[in-house]
Structure 1
Amino acid sequence: MTVESTAARKPRRGGGTKRASARKAPARKSGEPELVQLLTPEGERVPHAEYDAYVDGITPEELRGLYRDMVLTRRFDAEATALQRQGELGLWASLLGQEAAQIGSGRATREDDYVFPTYREHGVAWCRGVDPTNLLGMFRGVNNGGWDPNGNNFHLYTIVIGSQTLHATGYAMGVAKDGADSAVIAYFGDGASSQGDVNESFTFAAVYNAPVVFFCQNNQWAISEPTEKQTRVPLYQRAQGFGFPGVRVDGNDVLACLAVTKWALERARRGEGPTLVEAFTYRMGAHTTSDDPSKYRADEERVAWEAKDPILRLRTHLTAAGHADEAFFAELETESEALGRRVREVVRAMPDPDRFAIFENAYADGHALVDEERAQFAAYQASFVDEGEGE
């Protein structure tokens, strides 16, 4: 089984009504956020009256596929982080800990849906069939994107915080005008929810009944600021003020993310307008490789969330249910190693960035100040002695 042959596979929605477990959903402890959960941190399947229908009929093969998606996405992410530390990439934004939110929601999309990501949606890109090595060119500085957005209906990464939600809303308004049977999904973080662009997109989406799902990955840290310094209410409740529904889902539960996103996308396709999905998860690593979370975040908090690891959760469930054996995990480990090697080889074969490209596209007709800055930079570069000279 190759990475390329299954990267476009999507779990299907079953047609049955049988519940996977007769257990009652665990009671929410005092102080815990209200959220949709189908798989507990201990890997036990629990029912949900509203969302079970969206994962009923999911097969063991599809569950293994979700696990494979998360494992390979995490391996790719770890490889990219290592390559940045080795000087091969200028920067990297890790998704560590957010695999379930991205794989679950990504596999809920249809081929004709359109995705607007931020700069961290490596798992969603994987689900959309984007070769993971194509994500690295921009972070190496050799291109401005790396893939054709229309080839996979997956837009280029957006660095400007929150602006992609406006792009998604405008696109969704166009989809509605065209009468197309598709939906749009926009990804952003809890920090971006404080941006004016995001709130403006909520207004337009609600007024024009746009078929868009706003998927907020609340990893609880907008770089160094906790969520409680951004909002007085849970983020999903903000949707009420704009006139459309919001729901909070366990962002470390891949089944719940799959089910809730399917529901929201189907709602959009039926012409019922936008939905805000808040995936309550945790950023296990740094905001980017230029960040040091130990300066503002307690280790005890991270350790507590490690026990809710989305990959370990599904592995426990697969093993307990007899859906996967050690041979499956060993084969996946071999595939993971092969992916890591391929990523390293591709990145190291990329050209070095053009150091002067930054000056080329500032003004269409040139500018005296830019010309002066280019000359100063050229003189600075020329001041370094090439390797081997002067010996």
Structure 2
Amino acid sequence: MEYCNPGLWRSIVPFFTVLFSSACVCGGIQVRLDPGPNYGNVEMYHNGTWQRACLESFNYFGRNVSHVLCKQLGFNTTRNVAMPQTGKHHGLFWHTGSNCSRGERHLSQCHVGIITNRTSCYGYNIPRIACLSDNETRVDIANHNITVADGLRFSTSCYVYTPHTGFSYHWNHNWKNVSYPRRHFHGKANRTEAGNLTCSVSLNGKTLGSDSTVINVIYPPSIQCEEIVRVANGQSRTVQCKVDSYPRHHMMTWTLATTAGTRTQSSHRDTYHIVNASAGDEGNYTCRATNNLTYPDGQVETGTGTCVIKVKVTSPSGGRSAAESAAKGAPDQETTTSSAVWGGLALVAIVVIGLLVAVIVLVIRHPYTKEVPNGDKPIEMTTVNRAGVAAISGPLYENAQDHRLK
């Protein structure tokens, strides 16, 4: 929707003001605000397209330009402010020079140069304005999209445009309170802490306004994978590399190194599917992920991460791998015979040892009787009667035969 007096439209439909951007076609240069309706980045319409404006010397003439633009958009406000931005921004911009004296009612009445197309613009040349009423408060963070490399420090600022005084600042990171009660915020980028950073301004316990920025922490791919993967010969198996990176990796390359050579396959997938595995599929699979790291100054680097998976193709019974079987062939007859011989000898040794143990046990339990050198000499036993006189009892013999006294 394009209209010449958004101030009137805003007063008629206040509920939908956050859904529309202001635009004006009355002057020679059409402008609008994003997100609008009375604040945001200035966009210009040129050659049939809307693009963000990049105004040379806006950091010097921003206050005058903001008054002219608010008038052109139909806001009869006196508290018209230029909200500064930081860093270098990338994208499509309509670039021109501008020098307003504050008395103009349209941007085309200022000293405007030739409009050209650009793909980047520094924050201090990007017009971001707010057309405020007398009692209105606007909180604005200097950069609404912070990009920083992992481990590096970053900073941003919270600006407050309000007629009130004595307010205080509060910062929240990913909706958790951060003890940092100042306008300027300094932090260290961490890939696990990327997300939302919000600045809130309050007065006497009442929130006057807030604004947020997104922190993008860029880092090259880091990959996790299994060290060894086994797959049965003739079966299928999927191997996977889990990639963590920002921005997301745009290319994945799989390289298989075998005894027969190396082959490479480019893919956007984090998985590699092995179909009907054979000896030729055994080897080291290297997955390599890459992404583009674009830094705030416009410098672009390529981030890379790798991981190696060792794939072994085994027989269906889980024995020797297919590659080992192909290289060594079937086991020879000599090896089989030698194993059988040694097994038989071991069995004989066990039997002999068992017999020896049995003999020793029998001997201990039943010791043998030594022979008397002089033949079957009787052994006499002496007994004592009740009278105390010793008497000779009948003879006892060592053998079981019947012996008589001569």
TM-score interval (norm. to shorter): under 0.3
Q: Which of 1 and 2 has greater Rg?
A: 2
More helix by share: 1
> If the length of structure 1 is used for normalisation, what is the TM-score?
0.23
> If the length of structure 2 is used for normalisation, what is the TM-score?
0.22
Larger RCO (CA under 8 A, 6+ residues apart): 1
